[in-house]
Every structure is written in C-alpha cells, then in structure tokens.
Amino acid sequence: MDQIAVFDLGSSKVAAMAAAFDDSGEMKILATFETPNKGVKKGAIVDLEETQRAISDCLQGLHEDLGENPSSVWITIGGSNVDSRLVRGMQPIVPNTRPISRDDVMQVVNHSRRQVLPPDREEVQAIPQSFTVDGQNGINRPIGLNGSRLEVSTLLVTAQRAALQNLERAFDNSGIKVNGYVLRSLAAGLAVLSEDQRRVGSLVVDLGAASTELAVFSNGGVVSSSSVPLGMSHVSSDLMKLLKTSPEEAEKLKLEFGCAVAALVPPDDSLSVLQLGQIHGRPMQRRVLCEIIESRMREIAQFVCQQLERSGHIGMLPGGVVITGGGAEMEGVQELFSDVLAGHNVSIGKLRGKTRISPAKFASCYGAARFLADNREELAPTELEMGLAGKVKTIWSMLSGKEI
C-alpha cells in the first residue's frame, strides 16, 4: 500500500497524520500526532526554530507508530497569505470526431493556470469546478464525450512565495521533502461533507486559532474560499485582558467553562478566576465569562456571514453550514451560528467514514489524505512543472461525486 503523511501547521499546534491506501483508494490511518506550536501566525511561519521543533516532535511521534519517518509530506495551507480566484481555460479537440481524453482535460486545466501573477506569489493548487463542451455548461466529467471545444472554470489557489519557501525550509531542515500542498478549507470540506452536501451546495467553516477559513462547495467542488483574520486565540486574548489573567488561565477558562451563547448558561453557575498577582481565585458568575466569549464569537460569525454574502451564495446552501476546527468543540457554537446565519441549517462537523480520530484536531489532515488517496492518478507531474510552481496539483476526479 502507498503511504502518505499530511501536516497541518496551525497557529496553536501542528497536527500530523500518516495513512496508507491501496489501488482502489481504500485508506487506512496508520498514525496521528499533535504538538503545541507558537511559530506560525495566520498561515505563515514567524519563528522558524519553534516550528522546526514542532515538526520534529510530530515526526518522532509518527516514527514511534510507523517504525520509520515518512520520506515526503503534504502540507495543508490557508490563512491570510493564501488567495483564490476563478479562471477560465479552453482547449480545442482535434479531430472533433474523437472522444475527449484525460490528456485533454489536463491540458485545458493547465491552460486555465496560465495566469500572470504578481512576482511575490506562487500557484499552489488548481481545482477545476466544471467543464463546458461546445457551449453546454455544468459538465462534471467530460471524458468520453464528443465535442470540438472544451472549456473549464478553475479555482486557482496562490500563496506568498516567501511563506512557501519558509515552510519548505522548515521541513528541509528536518530532513523531509515537501511533496505538495492542499488548500486547508478544501481538506476540511472533504473531511466533513457528504457527497450530496458537496454537490447541492454547502459552506464549511473551520474555526482555527488565529483565523477562520471558509469554503463554499457546489457541484462537487470548491467554488469559493476565503479567510477571516479572527479565531479562537482572539477569544482567549479577550479573556486575558478583561479578566486580568495569564494566557494559560484564559485558555483554561475558555476550554473548561466557555459557551458561545451566554443565555444558555444557568444563572447560578459560578467559577473561580485566578488573576495576575493573586494566589487565590476570584469567584465569578460563569455567564460573565461567556458574555465576553459570545461578543467575540458573534463578531466572527458576522464576518463569516459577510464573506458568504460577498461570495453570492448566502441563502443558496441546501447542504447547510458545517462547523469544524478546534472552535467547533465549544458549547453553543451551533446555536450562535444558527442565529447569525438565519435561514441556514447549521451543524457541527463529523468525519466521514469509519474513524475515531477527533474532527476538531485532525479534520484537515484527514480530508487532505482522502484527497490524495482519491486522486492519486491526477496528481502526476504536468507539463508546467518548474520550481515551486511544480507543486501545483490539479484535480478533476473529485467532481465525479465519490463518497468518502
């Protein structure tokens, strides 16, 4: 069985997963590991030494279960340095009497990728949305069809070149080769959405530490992705400042007593807050704590709503809104987002398939591994490969409606 390793470098932790899959795409999770990390902010490395330490810890953790280090890894990527936009490509079919082939599909996607980018940006992924054959729109799999003109709409994902170089350097210094990248919001969606949800239209909201990542799925693929520069670390920061506590105490209070909707907390619930410079905790109503939390969480939800409006998909998500990431574990998150995103069915994401791993910790790794397992044939090198741009990976078979 082929083996892959996926790393998700977040602003509070690094999560890693090793998996194997056979020729049919059947996947088996071999090992998982996570460790705290303060070396990444908003998707970019700010402390190379700290990030290398976290990577080494994860490699050691995987090694203990695998008996060896992975020879290469894939990295999920997101945050404010990542951008995406829809682009178009066209490929004539010559002669027009033959059916469209896999090579035709790869060539039309490659044509859509030929975009002039700013000198400080690199492509990291090209994700076809739908194809058009001789003017007929909405075709998911054009292979085998006849036509004279093949077109594609592709979501082109780019990232800051320096951020990618720093990521690669962190792994190179650990003796590991970076094989490629997977858009984090795409991975999260593949982890928690069903085939039907990806087809009819759904929004995935990944509540991370420093940012919140969004991806709209429709017709089987990602049609829009964006990032909100607010996350669960901002909740902890608010508690630290307003309650005059240490960062550790604020994080503890958030995890143990937090609720995103203060009204859900019984009025007689109380807790003890250890403030800076004190040796004894101060009693406090739990609702006061949760009112601070709700204020920031509601702001995040409102930003999500604004991004959804900009995408043009608000009110057009029959598959609903699915919340994942570490913030999804907080009590009241589903109720809060249901209130702000009125009219949408909101749920907390669960991993698709038979697995017992935590969706809050490993959803992105799991979804990226599924992406790689299901599309191993399409991840072959393309004619445009050179330098970092060679790490662009195209994907079209996900549009076939495979179930995870």
What single string gives the DSSP state of each residue in 154-195? EEEEEEEHHHHHHHHHHHHTTT-EEEEEEEHHHHHHHHH--H
* C-alpha–C-alpha distance, residues 64 and 358, integer Å: 20
Find where tokens 């909100």 sit. Answer: 228
pLDDT of residue 387: 40
Would you write out the chain's pLDDT as a tens digit for each of its 404 residues?
Answer: 578 899 999 889 999 999 988 777 678 899 999 999 999 987 789 999 999 999 999 999 999 998 888 877 999 998 888 998 889 999 999 998 899 998 899 899 999 999 999 999 999 888 888 899 999 988 888 999 999 999 999 989 999 999 999 999 999 988 888 988 999 999 999 999 998 999 899 999 999 999 999 999 988 888 889 999 999 999 999 999 999 999 999 999 999 999 999 999 999 999 999 999 999 999 999 999 999 999 999 999 999 999 999 999 998 999 999 999 999 999 999 999 999 999 999 999 998 877 778 877 899 999 999 888 877 655 544 444 434 334 444 444 333 333 33
Tell me the three-class secondary structure of 48-72, residue by residue. HHHHHHHHHHHHHHHHHHHCCCCCE
| Amino acid present at 2 | D
Tell me if residue 134 falls in helix, strand or coil: coil
pLDDT reported for residue 280:
94
**Nearest Cα to 325, choosing from 202, 188, 183?**
188
